[in-house]
Amino acid sequence: MMRRRFRYDLWTFVLIAAWVILLILLIWPLSSILRASLLDNETGAFSFVHYFQIFTTRVYQRAIGNTLIAGFGGMAGALVLGVTLAFVTTRFHIYGRALIQTLAVVALVSPPFIGAYAWIVLFGASGVVRKGLASIGISIPPLYGMLGVILVFAFKFFPHVFLITSGALSAINRSVEEAAESLGVSPARRLFTVTFPLILPAISASALLTFVLSIADFGTPRIIGRDFNVLATEAFNLYGGEVGGNPGMASALSIVLIILSMIIVFGQRWVLRKNVYHSNLIKKPERQHVGGVKSVGLHVLAYAIVLIGALPAIIVVLFSFRRTSGPVFQPGLSLQSYEKVISTVSDPIWNTLLFSTVAVVAIVITGTLIGYLISRRPNIATGALDATLMIPYVVPGIVMGIAFITRFNDPPLALTGTGLIIIMAVFIRRLPYSARSVAAALKQVGPNLEDAAVSLGYSPGKAFMKVTVPLIVPGILAGALMSFVTAMNELSSSLVLYVGSTITMPVRIYLSVMDGEYGTASALSTILLVMTVVAVYAAFHLSGRKESALL
Amino acid sequence: MAGLKIHGLAKSYRDVRVLENIDLDIASGEFFTLLGPSGCGKTTLLRTIAGFQHQDRGEIIVNGERIDHKPAHKRDIGMVFQDYAVFPHLTVAENVAFGLKARSLPKAEIESRVAESLAMVRLDGYQNRLPAEMSGGQQQRIGLARAMAIRPTLLLMDEPLSNLDAKLRIELREDIRDIQRRLGITTIYVTHDQEEALAVSDRICVMNKGNVEQIGTPFEIYRKPQRRFAAAFVGTMNFLPGRMQGGQLTVGSHSVPFPHGVGTGSVEVAIRPENVLLTGASADGEAIALRGEVRKVTFLGREAHYTLSTEAGEIVAQVADPDRDFIEMEGRPVEVRLPLQKVVLFQSNGDVLSAGRP
Ligand SMILES: Nc1ncnc2c1ncn2[C@@H]1O[C@H](COP(=O)(O)OP(=O)(O)OP(=O)(O)O)[C@@H](O)[C@H]1O
Ligand SMILES: [Mg+2]
């Protein structure tokens, strides 16, 4: 057989450019972490001493175990909540779908760090809700430790699952489900034998995402976990350097964390190895009208999930209007927290807007092209690209930040202290979101459509723009929204990379919480929240879609 | 307009050979039909010609120019897809105008061609609908109108009428044929429906397992099959075992001289049901005579089918405009005559031995 000629086109260029980006922004910086983990702190000689310690020291072993518990626990909780909500809202007629989506977005952007703080305010040892329940005779344990962490993760991360799977659910070809029905499969069985397998790519992608988010999160276990230590908190403490620091050990822990996550990544790959379903999006599923008890039950279920998810954000908004005196909240309402924010700290607002906008524009363009490449031009080079692209997914923000500082400190790439380095970190961290959601959306668009456009005289590039892009706009938009929301709320890498002039809102909030200025933190969080929600709806409005951009 | 030549085309999906070694020579303006069982590689051949996938070897030549290296969108080859591939985000009119816009035609011209194409497929009035609001057959017709509208040098149609009712199918196939003649577009047409193939084609190519079995006019394919597969696949054909020896053909207990048949060995005797003669009917020239019995009579209106068991095997005879007493023949003995003029012999390798007598 003759070898197939390699043809140069737009996609060859995209492939090369993608590799260059990954080399400079990912592999090169991360190599510094790997290197540090393999050097003895004192002598600077090559050694496996850190890894050896991880597997012999009890506290690290416990951290590895806890990390896995938090990861799988958070993932399972988020999946149950997210898939349920997605199914209910895409398949049944629910009043106030827009409100549900808004609350889901609010839950998603529930500002970092202070979200965990809000949970404590509600369910901590002296939490408002806990005390209230105790006064009517219901006693629940305080929200600390393993269970608390898992619960918070579930309610913090389920919106990701919701957004990803509801897109897939509403794009299933109705005929396929109807065929199952006509073959005598009961609706409940059909759900598990037809519907879920069809959206397996979306479900497993969101499972992976929530797992990775859960194990990389250090704020929640830090505030709520108490003695429930995980790899992320251990690494953070060791990098933090409050007690001198141990960069070698911290790097080694980071590498272990990354490897654990990568195992899960390839697990998901394996699950999906044969999964190529195409449907032409012609017959979309319809929303069923139900009445009576069933309808009430579905509404309660949907609203309970999003309301609890949005609870921390709601608390923060309420607190931002409380009167404060220093770190202490006083009775009564006031705008004094906002006055303080406006008069002293408006820089972070502009920085946040600028950095995230630039990053997201770059992410959407690059991510769409790469997502296409991965799903439509499968070969060794794109397969490897896809696998490599999973690394930023699983690298904790702190680690990425430190890697960037190490590598971009000296000419020709002396970028520390600039806004660009913060943008670059956000870009590389969130690129996979966009690429993945585009790839997932493409799975549901038959490749014949593009062939049809080509046969009508459009070049592959034009056919892509005219046919494929409009069809995957929901996917692109979902990816863009997630990138934007996460870019605005990016804390961990910015925390390492910021200097006075490039401080962002999340960093400012974190510092305020650390200084005990909860009023300022709440006001800032509220502003961030409003900005995010406005951005989401602006995007949705600009895209001119009557249907919500999120579903 | 354009002729198409294909030399030694082969294509595999990983290690499965789907097209073995295809040679075709299609004249300019010809209506050329690919006919073959499901999975024989028809779609694959069309997609390779259109340029959506690249052949492993072989040449594709349009108008004397090799087009293998041209990207698909520069080939000016229109295609109607088996699964429609209608753009779900565009209205019916936008779907049809899609290819015209790529050619930057003037707006008025686009509008008139859209209207004309939609009228052709009987979809006028549906301009502003979205494909999701149309039936499967209507979607299929959008795909058809869309490909015809650009008036390509070469038009490939992959079962474009498979989803339509019998009446519309006949109407549209005549329309397609008329427009194709009028515009002189060289067309390759894929169908499962032999009647459709016989009705519209200039020539038919019978394919099997990635090979060309026979190419010929509808008459040649039906009357002068060159391969056993083509004979069996197109129309109904009776096959009886026979033996050739010394210029004599033996079927059952009967031997007749068969001077044109050369060689010695077992052969298969093939004859169409409409050429089988029953008692009473007189044959011109020589015929194989067999004794048999009528097993079953199926009355179909303008004709009747007789299933006969003979000493050489079971055969079906077709009688046009049957009389009443013909219908009541079930269970009766009958003499069957197979006119040598109408008989085709196949060797055991499937090649024809002699297609009737001159
Ligand atoms: N992408 C693919 N990968 C592997 N094998 C394939 C692929 N596409 C088609 N085939 C195989 O190639 C053979 C020919 O397929 P093709 O679609 O050309 O058949 P066809 O003649 O058009 O059939 P039909 O009349 O059912 O449409 C089939 O056996 C099919 O299973
Ligand atoms: Mg086919």
Average pLDDT, chain B: 87
Reported as a single tens digit per residue, the pLDDT across A239-284 is 765 455 677 888 888 888 888 888 888 888 787 766 655 555 555 6
Stretch B246-257: mean pLDDT? 84
* B48 or A185, greater pLDDT: B48
User: pLDDT band for position A4 (50/70/90)?
Assistant: very low
* B305 or A443, greater pLDDT: B305
Stretch A378-396: mean pLDDT? 85
Question: Are A9-45+337-550 and A57-333 equal in CATH topology?
Answer: yes
Least confident among A76-80, A459-463, B232-236? A459-463
Residue-by-residue DSSP string for A152-215: HHHHHHHHHHHHHHHHHHTTS-HHHHHHHHHTT--HHHHIIIIIHHHTHHHHHHHHHHHHHHHH
User: pLDDT band for position A180 (50/70/90)?
Assistant: low
Stretch B88-115: mean pLDDT? 90
Structure-token match 């990775």, residue found: A212
Residues in a beta bridge with B238: B271
B17, B80, B82, B98: best to mutate for the A interface, most A CBs within 10 A: B98
The answer to whether residue A130 scores a pLDDT higher than 60 is: yes
What is residue A1's predicted lDDT score, i.e. its pLDDT? 36
Cβ < 6 Å from ligand 1: which residues?
Answer: B 13, 16, 18, 38-44, 82
CB-CB contact of A25 with A407 (8 Å): no
Q: For the beta carbon of residue B65, count every other beta carbon within 10 angstroms.
A: 9
The answer to whether residue A179 scores a pLDDT higher than 60 is: yes
With residue A329 as reference, give the H or E element that holds it.
Answer: strand A328-333
The answer to whether residue A82 scores a pLDDT higher than 90 is: yes
What is residue A2's predicted lDDT score, i.e. its pLDDT? 39
Structure-token match 């196949």, residue found: B346
Overall fold of domain A57-333: MetI-like fold (1.10.3720)
* B63 or A177, greater pLDDT: B63
A229, two tokens: 């230590």
Stretch A160-189: mean pLDDT? 73
The answer to whether residue A542 scores a pLDDT higher than 70 is: no
Å from A79 to nearest chain B CA?
31
Cα separation values, A173 from A285, A286, A300, A441, B81, Å: 7, 10, 28, 14, 19
Residues in a beta bridge with A325: A328
For residue B178, the number of C-alpha atoms closer than 13 Å in the C-beta half-sphere is: 8
Asked if CATH classification 1.10.3720.10 holds for the domain at A9-45+337-550, the reply, yes or no, is: yes
Q: Which of B181, B331, B357, B124 is nearest to B256 (CA)?
A: B357
Q: Which atom of ligand 1 is nearest to the CA of B47?
A: 18
The answer to whether residue B286 scores a pLDDT higher than 90 is: no
| CA–CA dist A240, A401 (Å, integer) | 12
DSSP at B245: E
What is residue A251's predicted lDDT score, i.e. its pLDDT? 87
Stretch B252-260: mean pLDDT? 80
What is residue A490's predicted lDDT score, i.e. its pLDDT? 83
User: pLDDT band for position B48 (50/70/90)?
Assistant: very high
What is residue B282's predicted lDDT score, i.e. its pLDDT? 60
Query: How buried is B229 (Cβ within 10 angstroms: 0-12 exposed, 13-18 middle, 19+ buried)?
Result: buried
**Contact assignment for B102 to A458 by CB distance below 8 Å:** yes
* A488 or A336, greater pLDDT: A488
CA B252 to chain CA centroid, Å, is 33
Residue whose Cα lies nearest atom 24 of ligand 1: it is B38
Q: Which of B341, B286, B330 is nearest to B308 (CA)?
A: B330
What's the CATH class of domain B237-355?
mainly beta
What is residue A71's predicted lDDT score, i.e. its pLDDT? 93
**Contact assignment for A454 to B52 by CB distance below 8 Å:** yes
The answer to whether residue A440 scores a pLDDT higher than 50 is: yes
What is residue B171's predicted lDDT score, i.e. its pLDDT? 85
Structure-token match 């030399």, residue found: B7
Reported as a single tens digit per residue, the pLDDT across B5-27 is 999 999 998 888 999 999 999 99
User: pLDDT band for position B358 (50/70/90)?
Assistant: very low
Q: Which ligand is nearest to the CA of B158?
A: 2
What is residue B103's predicted lDDT score, i.e. its pLDDT? 84
Whether the model clears a pTM of 0.90, i.e. scores above it, the answer is no
CA B224 to chain CA centroid, Å, is 14
Q: Give the domain ranges of chain A.
A: 9-45+337-550, 57-333
What is residue A318's predicted lDDT score, i.e. its pLDDT? 86
Residues in a beta bridge with B338: B288
| CA–CA dist A71, A209 (Å, integer) | 10
Say which amino acid occupies B209: K
| CA–CA dist A405, A29 (Å, integer) | 8
| CA–CA dist A390, A380 (Å, integer) | 16
The answer to whether residue B110 scores a pLDDT higher than 90 is: yes
The answer to whether residue A549 scores a pLDDT higher than 70 is: no
Structure-token match 């009958």, residue found: B334
The answer to whether residue A515 scores a pLDDT higher than 90 is: no
* Ligand 1 site-directed mutation target among B40, B52, B53, B212, most atoms within 8 Å of CB: B40
Under DSSP, is residue B78 helix (H, G, I), strand (E, B) or coil? strand
Stretch B328-349: mean pLDDT? 86
- Write the residue in B54, B77, B88 that is nearest to A280 by C-beta: B88
What is residue A546's predicted lDDT score, i.e. its pLDDT? 36
Terminal alpha carbon distance of chain A: 47
Q: Which of B345, B350, B26 is nearest to B208 (CA)?
A: B350
The answer to whether residue B313 scores a pLDDT higher than 70 is: yes
User: pLDDT band for position A18 (50/70/90)?
Assistant: very high
Least confident among A88-92, A226-230, A341-345, B163-167? A341-345
Pairing mode, strands B248-251 and B277-278? unpaired
What is residue A23's predicted lDDT score, i.e. its pLDDT? 92
Overall fold of domain B2-230: Rossmann fold (3.40.50)
The answer to whether residue A516 scores a pLDDT higher than 80 is: no
What is residue A111's predicted lDDT score, i.e. its pLDDT? 63
Q: Which atom of ligand 1 is nearest to the CA of B13?
A: 4
Cα separation values, A153 from A190, A206, A435, Å: 30, 14, 24
Å from A549 to nearest chain B CA?
16
Q: For the beta carbon of residue A497, count every other beta carbon within 10 angstroms.
A: 29
| CA–CA dist A176, A189 (Å, integer) | 14
Q: What angle do CA A298, A304, A307 make, to 5 degrees?
A: 135
| CA–CA dist A265, A207 (Å, integer) | 10
Å from A257 to nearest chain B CA?
38
Least confident among A19-33, A76-90, A111-125? A111-125
| CA–CA dist B196, A120 (Å, integer) | 75
CA A61 to chain CA centroid, Å, is 27
What is residue A301's predicted lDDT score, i.e. its pLDDT? 92
What is residue A121's predicted lDDT score, i.e. its pLDDT? 80
| CA–CA dist B176, B121 (Å, integer) | 9
Reported as a single tens digit per residue, the pLDDT across A396-410 is 888 888 888 888 877
Q: Give the domain ranges of chain B.
A: 2-230, 237-355
Average pLDDT, chain A: 81
